[in-house]
Structures are given as C-alpha cells and as structure tokens.
A = this chain, B = another copy of it.
Amino acid sequence: MTSRPWTLHPDRALPAEPAQRSIARELYQATAALPIVSMHGHIDAGAIARNDSFGDPAELFIIPDHYLVRMLVSQGFSNSDLGVRPRDPAAPFETDHRLIWRRFAENWKLYRGTPTRYWMEHELVEIFGITEEPSAATADVIYDELTEALAKPEFRIRGLFDRFNIEVLSTTDAPDADLADHAALAAEGWGERVVPTFRPDAVFYPDRAGWRAAVDRLSARSGVDVGDYAGFLEAVQQRRFAFVAAGARATDHGHLTANTTPLDRAEAERIFAAALNGPVDAASGEAFAGNMLFESARMTVDDGLVMQLHPGVLRDHAASVHETYGPDNGFDIPVAVEYARALQPLLNAFGHDPRFRIILFTIDETVYSRELAPIAGAYPAVKLGAPWWFLDSPGGMARFRELVTETAGFYNTSGFVDDTRAFASIPARHDLSRRIDAGYLSKLVAEHRLTLDEATETAVDLAYHLPLASYARR
C-alpha cells in the first residue's frame, strides 16, 4: 500500500444508503459542535494542573495506550519492544522512540476495521494535520511532523483542552488521593472543568495484593483509624465527602462480578479483621467487595455521588505479562456477568430512592437486551452507561442502541461516556459516538418511526444533555 493524500471524509462512519446518510448527516451536524462532556476517564489531573506537554509521538500515542500496544503484541512484539517499561529496573526495554513509532507505522494494516485505526486517523489528520497515512515509507516524516507540533505551546494539554471544547472532564482517583491537583485547578478557576472520581476498588477487595497498603493509605489520608470495619466505613465515607468537596460527581467500581449482597455486620467485621491479620480467600474477598457495593449505594443516598459499576473483567489474564510489566497491559479479558440476580439486593434497597443513582456498564453484550435494558426500563435509579472499552467502537455502539433502545428507550441511558487514557483521542471518540447515534436515529427516521425533529432533539440529548444530567451534582 503506497501512501496517499490523506483526509477525513465528512461523512465517515455514517450509513452508506444515500437517503439514510442524508438524514444522518443532518443529525450529526446538529451535534458536531456541541461541547464535550467527558465524565469518566483516566487523564492525570496533575498533567492538566501543570499544563504538561505530551512528549514525543511514542509517548503520546503508543506507550501508554494498551489498545494499541496489545494489537502489536498479538502479532509478536513484546510490550518492551514498544517502550513499555518492565517493573524490574534492570530489565531492558526499547528506548528509541522513533523506532517504536516505526514499528507501529509499519504495522498500520493490523488496525484495519478497529476503533484504534479510526481514532488515530482522526487524531493525526484533524489535530496534527498529518497528510500521509502511516507506513514504513512515511514513518519518519510523520514522526518529525508530530514532534514539531508537540513542541508548540498550543499542543500542551490546556491548549488542546480548549481546542477540543471540553466542558467538563472527570479523572479517576484512588480513595487516598490528596486531590491537590484538583485544588490547584480549582484555584485557577478550572474547578468545574476538571473533577475527580472516587474509585475505591483497591480497598474493597481484601483478598488482593496491595489491599493492606491501600487501607493504610486510606487511614493516613482520612485521619480515621481503620483498625476495624466501623472505622473503615467511616474512613470511606469521610473520603467521599472530601471528593464531593473537591467537585466529584461520581464513584466508580470495577468489580469482577455485579454482586451487591450485603453481609451481616458480624460477617463483614470478621472478614475485615481477618484480612488485617493476613491473607483471606477469593470467596471472602468477593463477598466483602459485594457488601461494599451495597454500602456504597447507602452512602450515595447521603452524599449524592452517582455510582458507576463496571463489572466483568478478568484482569491480568497473562500472568507473565502482569509479572513483568504490572497491571493494565492489554491482557484483561471480559467474562460473562449476571446482573439480574446480582443487583437485586441493591435495587430492592435503593432502586426506588430518588436520592440514589447508578449507571451500569458492561462488556458482555449478551446482557443488553436480556437484563440491562429491562432493569433500566423499570428502576428509576438506573441508567445504562455507554458501550465500554472493547465496545467503544462503531459496531459496539450501534449494537448497544439496537439491543437497548426498544426496551429502555433513549432516556434511560447516560449518553456518551468515554473511558480513555489517551487524551488526544477524546474528540475522536465523542465525534464517532455522535456519528453512530446519528446513524441509528437516521434509520428510525428513514423507516418513518421517528420524525426528523424528534431525532434531532434526541441526538443532542445523547451527545450533551443526558451526560450532563446523568452526572449532575445534587
């Protein structure tokens, strides 16, 4: 494949059929310029507070993006070939970033049909003005062009933040986070633009490595003695209020299952005490974590934080990769998740409480029409989050609407929520979601099941008003 003049087609990712495309184009145009509401992400608040630059092209696009790295790994590269630093300080890894970029560019074809390809195309062309697609022949030229752009002040993170028209962005933070970067941002008037999210998984799973250290940090940060379960609950609640004070809108829970069964107080105390004294088994850990989801729901009634639940990922499937590089290196594999029975305790207790809100995510598509849409189409407290992770893709988003809308409608969904670690991909992801929703709505209009006016209002709601409302402060 030789390089070719490279542009983004204005109708990309819209339906091919001409009548439907013309409707979709009109719907998309009603949303294209709306501000970005990015309520769930993994951007470092410190980088925004310091207005960091992004380093070189490998540092921006490749090394930190586990979507992109895993595809090259699946074809034979090691993580360290791509600049991922092993945990062992003595272990070698590739430090020639131009070479890393070249490895990516030479393997551009692997990404055909994937969202990474779509996002990268958007980022390179739209944000950086690259005019040739990546290949062995163009790798170095593009690397130089990107390097030059990244050195400019307008390509620092705040410049891009403004250029991307981000109205509000949530970070994801440990329960013991000092939130100093958020405070610094607030002092500069950015307090409503960058808000923290309370993610307590590390202290909810007492069977996992690092739990005790995380609990100790929680204790230190909260100033609450967590020598027993009561103290632990108090410390968690205290930190939630600190997050609320720092502008947080939500909590986030990345559990293995959706279990929300509360434990007898005595049993919760027993597991907690046992874990302080030594290892507990996985069953106790899962039971305690489920109990803490229930307790988190109880707390949200008081402090107004929206609960986000992201279950169903078997983390660190490849033990050797985890051992060598640590977590989040592309070997997280989804598993089947049961929601209907698992959420029953929580929903029976809080599902009709007007002070309680929960947003459910999944990467197991089988539950969309079977469990999630019927639950969200009944319980006032529940909204369905956007397609997540592997499903944050053209087909994944289309299937979400197809499988959810007929039972839950549009207004029991949260609108678009990205979940990115890659700052430069935020506009590409939101833009793609607006195109796919426009495509879905255009089908309803073309089949005379919705008027164009209704579809336009719905498109704007999904892109902007629903995410704002779903995470609104109370």
Contacts and interface: CB of A to CB of B under 8 A. Distances in A.
A340 B334 contact: yes
Contact of A370 (B15, B344, B366): B366
Contacts of A453: 1, 4
Contacts of A363: 369-370
A310 to B, nearest CB: 14
Contacts of A365: 366, 369-370
A446 interface: yes
A117 to B, nearest CB: 8
Given A347-B318, A365-B370, A373-B390, A454 B340 contact: no
B314 A341 contact: yes
Interface string A180-201: 0000000000000000000000
Q: How many copies does the complex hold?
A: 3
Interface string A391-430: 1011110000111011111111000000000000000000
Nearest to A317: B344
By size class, the interface of chain A is: 35 or more
Given A113-B410, A447-B13, A374 B352 contact: no
Nearest to A364: B370
A364 B396 CA distance: 18
Contacts of A277: none
Interface stretch (A52-60, A67-75, A223-231, A283-291): A67-75
Interface of A: 1, 4, 8-9, 11-20, 70-71, 73-76, 109-115, 117-118, 314, 317-321, 330-336, 338, 340-341, 344, 347-348, 351-352, 354, 363-366, 369-371, 373-380, 382, 390-391, 393-396, 401-403, 405-412, 443-444, 446-451, 453-454, 457-458
A376 B395 CA distance: 18
A407 B390 contact: yes
A378, A446, A448: residue with the most chain B Cβ atoms closer than 10 Å: A378
B12 A449 contact: yes
Nearest to A354: B76
Q: Which 9 A-B pairs have the closest CB atoms?
A: A9-B448, A16-B446, A12-B448, A393-B406, A113-B405, A333-B340, A334-B370, A70-B378, A366-B366
Contacts of A336: 338, 366, 370
B344 A15 contact: no
A66 B444 CA distance: 24
A320 B75 CA distance: 47
Contacts of A403: 395
A378 B113 contact: no
Given A341-B314, A371-B333, A450-B112, A380 B74 contact: yes
15 contacts: A11-B448, A16-B19, A74-B412, A76-B354, A110-B409, A113-B444, A114-B406, A115-B406, A320-B348, A333-B340, A335-B338, A335-B370, A364-B370, A369-B396, A395-B403
